[in-house]
Amino acid sequence: MPPTPSSVSATSPTLLDTRFKVETPEGIDLILRPAGVIPRALAFGIDLLIRGALLGALYAVLALFGQFGMGLATILMFLLTWWYMVLFEVLNQGRSPGKQVMGLRVIHDDGTPIGWAASLTRNLLRFVDMLPFGYTLGIISSLRHPAFKRLGDIAAGTLVVYRDEAPSAAVLPEAEALRAPFTMNLNEQRARSALLNAAKTCPARAVWNWRAFSLNPCTSPPNRLNNRSTASPVAF
Amino acid sequence: MRLTDASVVIRPRSAWEAVDLGVLLAKQHAGLLMLSWAIVTLPIFALLCLLLWDYPSIAVLIFWWLKPAYERLPLFILSNALFGSTPSLKQALKALPGLLKPQLLASLTWRRLSPTRSFDLPVQQLEGLSGSARNQRLVVLGQRDAGGASWLTVVGVALEIALMFGLISLFYMLLPAQLELDWSWDTLISTDTHQWLWLEHLSNLFYALVLVLWGPIYVACGFTLYLNRRTALEAWDIELVFRQLRQRLTGVAYAMLLSVALLFMPVADNAMAASEAAPVATDPNGPDAPRLLKQPLTSEQSQESITQLLDQPPFEHRETVTRWRFGDAPEDPSAEDAKSLDEWMKKLADLAQLWKSVDGVALFFEVLLWTLLFSLLAWLLWRYRDWLNAFAGRLRMPQVRRYQAPEQLFGLEVAPQSLPNDIAGEVERLWAEQPRAALSLLYRALLSRLLHEQQLALKSSDTEGEVLQQVHALQQAELSKFSQTLTSHWQNLAYGHQQPHAALKDELCTGWRQLFERGAQA
């Protein structure tokens, strides 16, 4: 059996994943993680609460000025309804306050920061997503699209993704370096260093189990569940 | 359960990403999940409606309360599909009674309102835990992703409500306008009218339909949350990589064994292979020759895996294009067809020969056609010359018009050559016999001077009054006064036939001399 490159077998295209790859002209894959309907609905809820609170406060203050105040409040309501998202998205790196809380941001499909045109399109088309009531079309579109886009996102070519945290520098364990008897590819090296990091942070027993397993890969992985039922269709 | 068979990428995710994976997983098996859900729930809904026809709210409450019972079948399907053995619809429905048995009472009573229902279900159904073991397990699992599971339930409630009202309003929008509906809210709200029961049952049906979409997704999201938690707890991602590493290394070991065996093969075999390969005349030292035969990875194997790699995306892009076309497929070209095609080609060649011989004719026609074209163009230009003048002429830059001093004003000669040298003297001479001629001469002279000395842009269409206005615009008081007097008297004489009195002669002549001839003399 020829040793096939395991990077190919590990990331076979049939496997289901939420990640979304954008290939740059230099042949580098940028990995984006599109966000689904649940966190986006929560982010929208937070934004809705903020807007509601702002509008309530505005009305309370402007009601003192009579009809003029009401007119002003109507204009402000228009601005807050239609420009709140656009301004935050374009001027705050694609993050409205709700998205900020949920760790999301909006970008173009190719990973570039969102611009005025795309942001205006996706936010004006909220009107379509809201049809016929309470974002029905948006929810259905988001549930059926592989990158969780609602109709506005499809039209504007935008993507709501999870923000990437800045990676922390790997802390190497203080130990004498040994050469492995075989070459390891990137995935395997990562797995090994993840194992070593876990060994430092986890309780001793678990580490012992892992180490026993990793040193002797021919044994089956340790059973952590004593109470495993055989009646269940898949023995989890 | 073999991790290497998993149909999803196993890696530690955040709780939200795990939920998103659930949405994708449910989408992948959407047909089976939604169909089985509909087959199970819709008959129950229909039964409830029939039994409790007078109490639609209670019917939908019971239907809603039974949700944990419906959720076991999707979990069964998903857990099997995750490792590649997706059950058929029949298998799934057969498994349903066995799935419903354990802990159904607990699920439907004190655990019904648990916000982490979807997250807990795999522990109970797939691990088969109950009692205190289940509680301990849930405490361990719930340390991290339970918050995500609760939010999933909260958002799920909101989504169910939004989708249901969306369906109801869609239904309302699609009612034809001709249907006279005087639904007023107070008649809808007053419960004593029995005629609105069907409407309530209809909106309950919408809820049941929304659940067909959302129920499996909810279960799948809880399942992937559970998988994610176990991935983190038991380091499934690391285990998976090490398992693949083991597969790879055992593969290498087999390859080494094979190559060692090859080394000890009889030499005759090699010679035979060489004699067979000789006619192909491959260079034994060329790039295509097998090399590195004693290595675990021989050149042939590497070539093979390279071609395999190059055959897959992103190096190879194949797509199937489906088009409509006429039904009768073209037959294979037979020998006859080939022959007739050959003849046809020959005829074509003959035709080309003939064509060369009639080159002169072709030249004649070419010239004729070009001539026709150019004459057509010329004729067009001539035919539309007026139009071109009118419209194309406007395209030119506006030009300054040279002012041409008119020769005549009011029928009077005003050119300087037509006037005598001593105008005042001539006037004095004529005044006695021909006062009309004298005054007209003076007026002519004035106009001539205005035109040629003062450079007034008089037009032949100007009236006497307009001339006067232009003179006033010069702002020379004496000239204005003189012109005023002369013009009024000239008009009186010319149009009113009033003879000027004799004293006027001296006044006008003196005025003339002062204005025009003094300058000339000085």
- What average pLDDT values come out for chain B (522 residues) when binned by 10 residues? 83 92 93 95 94 91 93 93 89 90 86 90 89 89 87 94 93 77 59 71 92 95 93 88 87 78 57 44 65 78 89 83 79 72 88 81 92 96 88 63 72 78 81 82 86 80 85 85 87 84 81 74 44
Strand bridging mode A158-162 / A104-108:
antiparallel
Work out the widest C-alpha separation in chain A, in whole angstroms: 85
Cβ atoms of A227 and B133 closer than 8 Å: yes
Cβ separation A133–B245 shorter than 8 A: no
Q: Which residues neighbour B482 within 8 Å (Cβ) at sequence distance 6 or greater?
A: B446, B508, B511, B512, B515
Cα dihedral: A91, A92, A93, A97 (round 10): -140
Report pLDDT for B51. Answer: 93
Q: Can you tell me the distance from the alpha carbon of B307 to that of B303, in angstroms, rounded to the nearest whole number?
A: 6
Cβ atoms of B202 and B36 closer than 8 Å: no
Q: What are the angstrom distances between the C-alpha of B293 and each of A187, B289, B297?
A: 28, 11, 8
Report pLDDT for B479. Answer: 86
Across the interface, of B162, B170, B242, the residue whose CB is closest to A139 is: B162
Packing angle, helices B146-174 and A136-144, rounded to 10: 120
DSSP string across B300-333: HHHHHHHHHHHTSTTT-----------SSPPPPP
Report pLDDT for A209. Answer: 46
Q: How far is CA B230 from the centre of its chain?
A: 44
Look at residues B5, B207, B23 and name the one whose alpha carbon lies nearest to residue B86: B5
Q: Can you tell me the distance from the alpha carbon of B126 to that of B492, in angstroms, rounded to the nearest whole number?
A: 127
Across the interface, of A23, A217, A224, the residue whose CB is closest to B234 is: A224
Q: Can you tell me the distance from the alpha carbon of A31 to that of A29, in angstroms, rounded to the nearest whole number?
A: 6
Establish if B171 touches chain A: CB-CB under 8 angstroms. Answer: no
Q: What are the angstrom distances between the C-alpha of A35 and each of A106, A188, B271?
A: 10, 28, 64
Report pLDDT for B269. Answer: 45
Residue of B nearest to A138 (CA): B163
Cβ separation B167–A18 shorter than 8 A: no
The pTM of the whole model exceeds 0.95: no
**At A23, is the secondary structure helix, strand, or coil?**
strand
**At A27, is the secondary structure helix, strand, or coil?**
coil
* Residue to substitute from B143, B159, B172, interface A, most A β-carbons within 10 A: B159
Across the interface, of B25, B162, B308, the residue whose CB is closest to A134 is: B162
Q: Can you tell me the distance from the alpha carbon of B65 to that of B207, in angstroms, rounded to the nearest whole number?
A: 13
- Sort out which chain A residues have CB atoms less than 8 A from B158's CB and list them: 41, 45
- Sort out which chain B residues have CB atoms less than 8 A from A188's CB and list them: 241-242, 244-245
Across the interface, of B1, B241, B246, the residue whose CB is closest to A236 is: B1
Cβ atoms of B235 and A201 closer than 8 Å: no
Cβ atoms of B160 and A143 closer than 8 Å: no
Cβ atoms within 10 A of the Cβ of A24, count? 10
Q: Can you tell me the distance from the alpha carbon of B268 to that of B8, in angstroms, rounded to the nearest whole number?
A: 51
Cβ atoms of B217 and B29 closer than 8 Å: no
Cβ atoms of B55 and B48 closer than 8 Å: no
**At A133, is the secondary structure helix, strand, or coil?**
coil
Across the interface, of A36, A210, A218, the residue whose CB is closest to B235 is: A210
Q: Which residues neighbour A156 within 8 Å (Cβ) at sequence distance 6 or greater?
A: A117, A118, A119, A121, A122, A125
- Sort out which chain A residues have CB atoms less than 8 A from B20's CB and list them: 18, 34-36, 38-39, 148
Establish if A139 touches chain B: CB-CB under 8 angstroms. Answer: yes
- Sort out which chain A residues have CB atoms less than 8 A from B312's CB and list them: 8
Across the interface, of A2, A134, A213, the residue whose CB is closest to B301 is: A2
- Sort out which chain A residues have CB atoms less than 8 A from B25's CB and list them: 16
Look at residues B388, B382, B486, B499 and name the one whose alpha carbon lies nearest to residue B433: B499
Q: What are the angstrom distances between the C-alpha of B403 and each of A120, A138, B37, B413?
A: 61, 76, 97, 18
Tokens of B329: 């497929």
Q: Which residues neighbour B494 within 8 Å (Cβ) at sequence distance 6 or greater?
A: B436, B439, B440
Report pLDDT for B79. Answer: 92
**At A29, is the secondary structure helix, strand, or coil?**
strand
Cβ separation B170–A162 shorter than 8 A: no
Cβ separation B19–A17 shorter than 8 A: no
Across the interface, of A17, A135, A217, the residue whose CB is closest to B162 is: A135
Residue with tokens 């067809």: B337
Residue with tokens 């709501």: A160
Establish if B245 touches chain A: CB-CB under 8 angstroms. Answer: yes
Q: Is the dihedral of CA B115, B117, B122, B128 positive or negative?
A: positive
Packing angle, helices B72-82 and B117-125, rounded to 10: 70
ipTM over 0.85: no
Q: Can you tell me the distance from the alpha carbon of B451 to that of B417, in angstroms, rounded to the nearest whole number?
A: 13
For residue B415, the 8-state DSSP code is: -
Cβ separation A184–B245 shorter than 8 A: yes
Q: Can you tell me the distance from the alpha carbon of B207 to that of B70, in angstroms, rounded to the nearest whole number?
A: 14
Q: Can you tell me the distance from the alpha carbon of B37 to that of B218, in angstroms, rounded to the nearest whole number?
A: 12
* Residue to substitute from A183, A224, A227, interface B, most B β-carbons within 10 A: A227
Q: How many CA atoms lie within 13 A of B201 on its CB side?
A: 17
Cβ separation A17–B21 shorter than 8 A: yes
- Sort out which chain B residues have CB atoms less than 8 A from A136's CB and list them: 162-163, 165-167, 170
- Sort out which chain A residues have CB atoms less than 8 A from B166's CB and list them: 132-137, 139
Look at residues B249, B252, B1 and name the one whose alpha carbon lies nearest to residue A217: B249
Which residues of chain A fall short of a pLDDT of 70? 1-13, 173, 200-236
- Sort out which chain B residues have CB atoms less than 8 A from A102's CB and list them: 16
Residue with tokens 């099997």: B80
Report pLDDT for B445. Answer: 87
